[in-house]
Structure 1
Amino acid sequence: MTRDLFLFIPAYNVERELLDLLKSIPSSVLLRTAELLIVNDGSADKTLAVAKKFADEEIRTSVRVESFAKNSGYGAVIKTGLLRAKELAGLLNVKFAVCLHGDGQYPAKSILPMIETLEGSDAVICQGSRHALQGGPREGRMPLYKFLGGKLLTFIENCVFMNKLSDRHSGLIAYRTSYLKKLNLKKLSGSFDIDLEILATADAQKEKLLEIPIETRYAGEVSNLRVIPYGFRVLRVALRRLRGFYG
């Protein structure tokens, strides 16, 4: 089997969730993965130990662990993952990169369908959408404020962007590495809105974006996202898109 996939996992204070998440990755995905990178973002718990133990024991693919000495923020983790994806595209001809959050909020079983969606299209990004399934977010115990806030912000964004999506705030994202070569990561945010900026950049460059329905999962995990500041960041990205910042 061709190993044309790179999988990276942001991990911050997820010692309880990380191992279950890693074990849930299908063998069909791991056997296609050239490298699995776990990025520990300065966790204060045993996240790093869990990651290292998994790396030592996993035999189906190469597992690499990077650890920041202190918490550097979601944007820094994403940039680390995407920079490694660019490297592997050149070194090992890796064609796809997928970000899977370490808290288990997104289903690993959706990785392969996302890659297959990219393979069957000319899209450069495929995002997992929790809102594409009718009633899915509420069945998955998404907090009401997140459900309503996400719907409102996505509506506003869809008024601005060429690509219309049902859930612009999902962190489960698959990329073509050929597109990442064109992406200037230094220009992008170091916070939670980096995903939005990547989508905005691709949209401004008239690239095609797709989404597939994914299961919604909320189990009382602690969120590190501050809702009101994040909302303002979303509006700033939309305004910047209108002004040609990402073009």
Structure 2
Amino acid sequence: MSITRTDLRSEVSVTGVDVVELTILMPCLNERETLATCIRHALNFLADNGVVGEVLVADNGSTDGSRDIARAEGAKVVEVPERGYGAALIAGIHAARGTFVAMGDADDSYDFEALGPFLDELRAGADLVMGNRFLGGIDKGAMPRLHRFLGNPLLSFVGRLFFSAPIKDFHCGLRAFRRDKILALELRAVGMEFASEMVVKACLAELKLVEVPTTLRKDGRTRPPHLRSWHDGWRHLRFLLLYSPRWLFLYPGAALTLMGLVTSAALMRGSVQVGAVGFDVGTMLVAMAVAVIGYNSVTFAILSKVYAAHEGFLPASERFDVFQRRLGLERVILAGVGMFVIGLVWLAFSLWGWRSEQFGSLQPRESIRAVAPAVLGLLFGAQTIMAGAFLAILRIRTSDVPFLGHAMNEVVGFDREG
């Protein structure tokens, strides 16, 4: 069927904001080579399927005339001054009028005329519908081998492992969702991490997630993509670690700490023989290192949880709120001082024992056994004091975080014509 742009405009025109079912949202930064094609495909989908909708381009500071192209093709434009993939999409979601929003890159790598399965799943009750490029097919040259065989599978596995996400293509750029459900998540990541944040927060909020096959084509641009493989891959992994469940750092850290302390205590009196294997001060030093590593993991888990909760990255937890209120600066520092003092007292006793030898040479094994627990107490105490101070800094810094998107109409210019 041949449709002109004028026909498309009349086909999808609306008389009020409440009747728009679907907004097709495209983030854009200098996409003049492919933007018009993407908009035409999106408008074709709306017209061919009788969907009342709109095409919205969230422009992130294009200097190649992309905004004019978008308007000429019948799309609305929201201008987003803050740079970043996530910033553009957050602004676009706020400006969207549709009950549902479908988002996809404006580089012609996704077929906007194939949004039928996404919309069907949303109408059937799904909250977030993800495309799966590995099921739908990846054209030759459409995805770098590093992304296809390492980056995407690894990050998707981590996402499933950490958050029980029913998603096998965690970073597919073509996805659709209920606008109100995603707005309620208060997404904040302004960079590429936005793609991960949406899925992670949807899982934590127990939204209904489904996947549909989608095809990835080689994009139509002659310039290199904005994506930087290692840099952006690390940012996604770092973001997933920030959101990781407590068993990733807290529980393993607590187990390592306990194992290290118990082993160290068992070797304090002397060597231990298990069958034909003997354990002595070398094992004791390794066990103490394990205890320190475990304690580092525990403090990291607590501090990262506090940071994520205060920044709004993680949903509120009443039990954790009660726990962190008890982690007052004075209490944490007092506990650290107590550990440090224990270490100092132990060290003093070691020095007293050395004095009895006229401060001469000691047997290495016995001297290590005498001083090692003091070192452990000093390390634990110093780390706890610094963790308490850092906890206080985190709370000051994140006590009142402004949410990107409040008063969005005052921040960005929105073209409402058409």
- Could you say which TM-score interval applies, normalised by the shorter chain? 0.7 to 0.9
Q: How many residue pairs are counted as aligned between the two chains?
A: 227
Separation of aligned partners in 1, 2:45 and 2:219: 26
Which of 44, 53, 57 aligns to 1:38? It is 57
TM-score (norm: length of structure 1)? 0.83
Is 1:154 the counterpart of 2:156? The answer is yes
SS of the equivalent of 2:42 reads: coil
The 3 A distance-change label for structure 1 pair 181 and 216 is closer
> What's the counterpart of residue 17 of structure 1?
34
Separation of aligned partners in 1, 2:201 and 2:27: 22
Is 1:203 the counterpart of 2:203? The answer is yes
Separation of aligned partners in 2, 1:107 and 1:35: 16
Is 1:47 the counterpart of 2:51? The answer is no
The 3 A distance-change label for structure 1 pair 229 and 23 is same
SS of the equivalent of 1:131 reads: helix
> What's the counterpart of residue 126 of structure 1?
129
Larger RCO (CA within 8 A; separation ≥ 6)? 1
> What's the counterpart of residue 76 of structure 1?
87
Instruction: Give the letter for the 2:55 counterpart.
Output: L
Separation of aligned partners in 2, 1:39 and 1:219: 19
> What's the counterpart of residue 91 of structure 1?
none
1:228 deviates by 1.4
Which of 105, 108, 111 aligns to 2:112? It is 108
Query: Which range moves more in the overlay, 193-202 or 173-182?
Result: 173-182
Which of 153, 163, 175 aligns to 2:177? It is 175
The 3 A distance-change label for structure 1 pair 153 and 52 is same
Identity of aligned residues (%): 25
Is 1:67 the counterpart of 2:84? The answer is no
Instruction: Give the letter for the 2:216 counterpart.
Output: T
Structure in which a larger fraction of residues adopt helix: 2
> What's the counterpart of residue 163 of structure 1?
165
Preserved CA contact (<8 Å) 2:45 2:112: no
1:123 deviates by 2.4
Unaligned runs of 5+ in 1: 56-62, 89-93
Q: Which runs of 4+ in 1 moved over 3 A?
A: 138-141
| 1:44-90 CA distance string (max 9 Å, x none) | 212122112113xxxxxxx3212346x711111011111123xx3xx
Separation of aligned partners in 1, 2:199 and 2:52: 24
Structure in which a larger fraction of residues adopt strand: 1
The 3 A distance-change label for structure 1 pair 141 and 225 is closer
1:105 deviates by 1.3
Separation of aligned partners in 1, 2:220 and 2:77: 27
Unaligned runs of 5+ in 2: 1-11, 13-18, 246-304, 309-313, 316-418
Separation of aligned partners in 1, 2:177 and 2:72: 28
Preserved CA contact (<8 Å) 1:29 1:111: no
1:112 deviates by 2.2
Separation of aligned partners in 2, 1:141 and 1:34: 29
SS of the equivalent of 2:31 reads: coil
Is 1:3 the counterpart of 2:20? The answer is yes
Preserved CA contact (<8 Å) 1:140 1:215: no
Separation of aligned partners in 2, 1:238 and 1:76: 19
> What's the counterpart of residue 145 of structure 2?
144
Separation of aligned partners in 1, 2:212 and 2:43: 18
Separation of aligned partners in 1, 2:44 and 2:38: 13
Structure 2 counterparts to residues 184-195 of structure 1, below 5 A: 184-185=186-187, 188-195=188-195
SS of the equivalent of 1:215 reads: coil
Separation of aligned partners in 2, 1:169 and 1:101: 12
Preserved CA contact (<8 Å) 1:9 1:101: yes
TM-score (norm: length of structure 2)? 0.51
Output the aligned Cα RMSD: 2.2
Preserved CA contact (<8 Å) 1:132 1:167: no
| 1:147-197 CA distance string (max 9 Å, x none) | 121112212221112222121111111011231341213xx2110111210
Preserved CA contact (<8 Å) 1:15 1:47: yes
Preserved CA contact (<8 Å) 1:139 1:216: no
